[in-house]
Amino acid sequence: MSAPITGLVGLLVLLVLIGLRVPVAIAMGTVGIAGGVYLNGWFSLGFVLGSQPFVTSSSYALSVIPLFVMMGAFASRAGLSAALYRSLHTLIGHWRGGLASATIGACALFGAVCGSSLATAATMSRVAVPEMTAIGYDRRLTSGALAAGGTLGILIPPSIIMVIFALLTEQSIGRMFLAGMIPGILAALLYIATVTLIATVRPDLAPRSERNEGASTLEAMRQMSPILGLFGLVMGGIYLGFFSPTEAAGVGAFGAIVLAALRKALTREVVVDALIETASTTGMLFMILIGTSVLQFFIETSTLPRIIVGWIGTLGLGPTGVILLILLIYVILGCFLDSLSMMLITLPLVYPIILDLGIDPIWFGVLVVSVVEIGLITPPLGMNLYVIASSVEGLKFETVAAGVVPFLLADFVRIALLVAFPALSLLLPSLLM
């Protein structure tokens, strides 16, 4: 077989292996090794296999990953989610669709320090579902708001997915974080607007909660202050030049530990669980990154990216047309692949196209993360749907899938706005960095 055909066959085999639930790191490594040997022989591949695990594991830039994971692990165990939800419940719970809006707002703020969509969805479901069920919220709206709100964890910085995109494409982590701020806020506002519209058209689906006259706005803000302070410490420290993203991750992890201690949640069990979660998640991500480097060597030597770049050039689509085509492919893949796998498999192929067309990599990164986020709530594989269905007793997957449909429409509106107005992503990076 020719090199390009070998590369194409390798990608198809990779998709089959992932479809058979082979661990992503093993699937990537297997295809990368087999294809690398076929095209280049053992000697060239041996150099990659001998160097990449060490290069990846010892990378200073990659040390940001375990530190942000640790920050999220301790933050999710510090009882911050319940306090955050109670405060937003006090502030906006009496609005039309207020409890669902409070849930989305709490997901956005909690996801900002947690960095994980799955953890955000699982944690907030335990807090919000009993309250929403008690006043008669429709189960589809309840589960849909939680599943969609959970996705904000990977769009609002600091985000592990953004870190990985920045590292793979050699872009600034700080600029990626800034670029995600306005799109993340826009996503939360569109979700809240969706809830308000549903509650206006069908008030029976989202009964109003009674205003808590005994709770003050000042007390609600006080309950929100720990999580806002931690977010401000990490992000403000980066953009005011006090520390680098890696140092900010360390400060954030320490801050989350301090918050857990102040809230008397820092028990031995919590520390052990948080450290085990940090180690297992970091190990999984590093294994995937090592597998990605081996696969990337195979894909590059197959010349497949160059052929795709040439083919795209013959279509005469222009930069916007190419972006729309790539996003459409991502939406389709998001129905069948998990978010991290989808990004790692496709970036070696599509990123050269982006550079060749002169498209801003930071803007493209925000679009990729946004579409990856949509994949988390797209059946049949949307992971947030399964998390919500398994977290709430008696809740069927089909109910959650039906509940996210209005929020998916809001997502497509947001993607259209981000494509039409790149300044939504690029304004803050251009002003502050």
Residue-wise DSSP of 141-203? HHHHHHHHHHGGGGTSSS-HHHHHHHHHHT--HHHHHHHHHHHHHHHHHHHHHHHHHHHHH-G
pLDDT digits over 48-90, tens only?
777 777 777 777 777 888 888 888 888 878 777 777 777 777 7
- The model's confidence at residue 93, banded by pLDDT at 50, 70 and 90, is low
* Higher-confidence position of 187 and 94: 187
- How confident is the model at residue 299, as a pLDDT? 81
Closest CA to 29 of 279, 281, 297: 297
Residue 224 in this model has a pLDDT that exceeds 90? no
Backbone phi, then psi, for 115, in 5-degree steps?
80, 0
- The model's confidence at residue 216, banded by pLDDT at 50, 70 and 90, is low
- How confident is the model at residue 211, as a pLDDT? 64
Query: What whole-number distance in Å separates Cα of residue 206 and Cα of residue 132?
Result: 9
Q: Give 295's contacts (C-beta < 8 A, 6+ positions apart).
A: 14, 28, 29, 31, 32, 344, 345, 348
Residue 214 in this model has a pLDDT that exceeds 60? no
Residue 363 in this model has a pLDDT that exceeds 90? yes
Residue 223 in this model has a pLDDT that exceeds 70? yes
Q: What percent of the chain has pLDDT over 90?
A: 14
| Choice among 74-88, 192-206, 260-274 with the minimum mean pLDDT | 74-88
Task: Tell me the pTM.
Answer: 0.83
* Higher-confidence position of 177 and 97: 177
Instruction: Specify whether the CB–CB gap between 129 and 142 falls below 8 A.
Output: yes
- How confident is the model at residue 192, as a pLDDT? 92
334 three-class SS: helix
Backbone phi, then psi, for 383, in 5-degree steps?
-65, -35
Residue 126 in this model has a pLDDT that exceeds 90? no
Residue 213 in this model has a pLDDT that exceeds 60? no
Residue 202 in this model has a pLDDT that exceeds 80? yes
Backbone phi, then psi, for 313, in 5-degree steps?
-65, -30
- How confident is the model at residue 361, as a pLDDT? 93
Report how far apart, in Å, the C-alpha atoms of 159 and of each of 4, 142, 370, 377 are.
Answer: 34, 25, 12, 18
- How confident is the model at residue 283, as a pLDDT? 86
Q: Which DSSP state fits 404?
A: T
Query: What whole-number distance in Å separates Cα of residue 301 and Cα of residue 25?
Result: 20
Query: What whole-number distance in Å separates Cα of residue 321 and Cα of residue 288?
Result: 31
Instruction: Specify whether the CB–CB gap between 152 and 184 falls below 8 A.
Output: yes
Q: Give 28's contacts (C-beta < 8 A, 6+ positions apart).
A: 14, 288, 291, 292, 294, 295, 344, 345
Q: Cβ–Cβ contacts within 10 Å for residue 211, how many?
A: 12
- How confident is the model at residue 215, as a pLDDT? 56
346 three-class SS: helix
Mean pLDDT within 198-208: 84
In the predicted model, what is the mean pLDDT of the chain?
A: 83
**Omega before 158 cis (within 30°)?**
yes
- How confident is the model at residue 365, as a pLDDT? 93
405 three-class SS: helix
Residue 212 in this model has a pLDDT that exceeds 70? no
Residue type, 275: L
Q: What percent of the chain has pLDDT over 70?
A: 96
Residue 170 in this model has a pLDDT that exceeds 70? yes
Mean pLDDT within 113-121: 76
